[in-house]
Amino acid sequence: MSRPGTANLNGTRRAILGVALLFFVNGVVVGSWLPRLPEIRDRLGIDLDALGLTLALGGLGSLLGSSLSGVVVGGWGARRTAVTAGLAVYLFLPLVAVAPTAALLALVLAVMGFLDANADVGMNAVGVRVEEAHGRSVMTRLHGLWSLGTLIGSGVSALAVLVGVDFVTQLSIISVLGIGTALFAMRLIPDAPPRARQGARSGRLAIGLMLAGGFAVFVEGAPFDWSALYLVDVTGSGQALAGTGVIVFTAGMLIGRLAGDHIVDRFGAVPTLYSGVVVSVIAMFFVVVLQTVPAALAGFLIWGLGISAALPVLYKLAGSHRSFGEGSGLAALTVGTRLGFMAAPALIGVAATAWSLPIAIAIVVSLAATASLVAVRLTIAPPVTAGDSLPGGGNS
């Protein structure tokens, strides 16, 4: 017969595995269809403007889902929301390949976006609970597994195109695997009633989370959106090197997230957030000042390392703050991040048209980084450690 402490530790490890699987498979699903956008465009016979509008409508579904996710998680609980919403996303996934019109595809993406936003908040709420029960940071690794999942999903999609697997078959297989993984993960994660708010509701904290997350994604999103154009138009690299900026930045993000929990445990969540954002801004200036291919690639790598822990730490702060009921703080944060991801490319594009791409990146990213850190400093207190967040759990 095992001792109670051993049973608690084993239960926490099982829960960590369960939530890790949820993050990973969600990333695989997200990455599984985006590389086939040209095929979707050609099948529907639409131009880039119509495709962009279709994707934007899907983004609006995500924004609505984020706005309501706090209510959903607060009513259903984190585990049930994460698994149920995730299962629904995986069931809808094959419809992306068969929607006959752009309008129906927009509807499918909007519904999937709504469901995925709730799964996102549910997963992160479970992650916070598990981390508190474990007594050590796990959030950056969970987000690293999501990033790894997106890379694998994208790679599988590209391989499917290469070997001639049709789109419907590819998404159907991934859908089945996603459903099976989510159901298995559900068995590993103990259920727990939603955690109630302690103290008065604070609109200031919610706004602070929205601003911190919204401006942080300006820093994280700029290399994804603009590194290819920067390498070609500013450094004069050939088209063959255009995609390397995203690759090295993503590699830096992945390495930083997989290693970031050790830094959080050693130095604390907020200092890790501050220092990482500062490192990313320094790397950004290295890129825009030197304007050479080697400097740009080295800068993008360090930029990814620096910003890698920012969102995981913000999720940790939002999910553990006792001024919010379970899911409410995370909902506020994800509303901000989704607005930021929608606004950042347009703002940098307008600034680049007015000045130049290097100046636009330098001004927008540095101001956004400053605003994000100021919002954290003025509104978000460090998280409170809970000793018994899972049924029968305890600190290890």
Average pLDDT, the chain: 90
Tokens representing 231 are 């390498």
Instruction: Check whether residue 250 and residue 298 sit in a common domain.
Output: yes
Parent domain of 39: 4-188
Structure tokens at 65: 């889902």
| Residues 171 and 271 placed together within one structural domain of the fold | no
Q: Kindly report, residue by residue over 173-192, the tens digit of the pLDDT.
A: 999 999 999 999 999 999 88
State the burial class of residue 376 (Cβ atoms within 10 Å of its Cβ: 0-12, 13-18, 19+). Answer: buried
Same domain, 209 and 329: yes
For residue 120, tell me if it sits in a domain.
yes
Q: Is residue 326 included in any domain, yes or no?
A: yes
Rounded to an integer, what distance in angstroms lies between the CA atom of residue 163 and that of residue 155?
Answer: 12
pLDDT tier, 333 (very low <50, low <70, confident <90, very high otherwise): very high
Q: What is the pLDDT of residues 122-177, one digit of tens each?
A: 999 999 999 999 999 999 999 999 999 998 998 898 899 889 999 999 999 999 99
Cβ of 20: how many Cβ atoms within 10 Å? 21
3-state secondary structure 358-391: HHHHHHHHHHHHHHHHHHHHHHCCCCCCCCCCCC
Asked if residue 156 is part of any domain, the answer here is yes
Q: Which residue has the higher pLDDT, 254 or 383?
A: 254
Q: What is the pLDDT of residues 28-60, one digit of tens each?
A: 998 899 888 889 989 999 887 788 888 888 889
198: confidence class by pLDDT, cuts 50, 70, 90: confident
Torsion, Cα of 17, 255, 369, 31 (10° steps): -60
Would you say residue 389 lies in a domain? no
Residues 140 and 173 in one domain: yes
pLDDT of 102 above 70: yes
Question: Are 183 and 208 in a shared domain?
Answer: no
173 and 220 assigned to the same domain: no
- Residue closest to 26 by CA, chosen among 122, 139, 165, 95: 122
Say if residue 348 is in the same domain as residue 258.
Answer: yes
pLDDT digits (tens, 9 = 90+) for 264-314: 999 999 999 999 999 999 999 999 999 999 999 999 999 999 999 999 999
- Residue 323 DSSP class: T
- Over 80: is that where the pLDDT of 5 sits? no
Average pLDDT over residues 195-210: 81
Q: Are 357 and 230 in contact (CB under 8 A)?
A: yes
Mean pLDDT, to the nearest integer, of 209-225?
Answer: 96
Q: Is residue 129 situated within a structural domain?
A: yes
Average pLDDT over residues 69-98: 96
Residue 388 in any domain: the answer is no
Number of domains in the chain: 2
- Residues 105 and 146 occupy one common structural domain: yes
Quickly state the pLDDT bin for 203 (edges 50, 70, 90): confident
In a domain, 54, yes or no: yes
Does residue 314 share a domain with residue 278? Answer: yes
Could you tell me the CATH number of the domain that includes residue 146?
A: 1.20.1250.20
Q: Do 172 and 30 lie in a common domain?
A: yes
Measuring CA to CA, how many Å separate 103 from each of 47, 58, 114, 318? 14, 11, 17, 35
Phi then psi dihedrals of residue 186, to 5 deg: -60, -35
- Co-location of 251 and 218 in the same domain: yes
**Mean per-residue pLDDT, 94-103:** 96
Q: Is the pLDDT of residue 62 over 50?
A: yes
Residue 105 lies in a domain: yes
Q: pLDDT at position 192, please?
A: 84
| 236 & 371 share domain | yes
pLDDT value at residue 392: 36
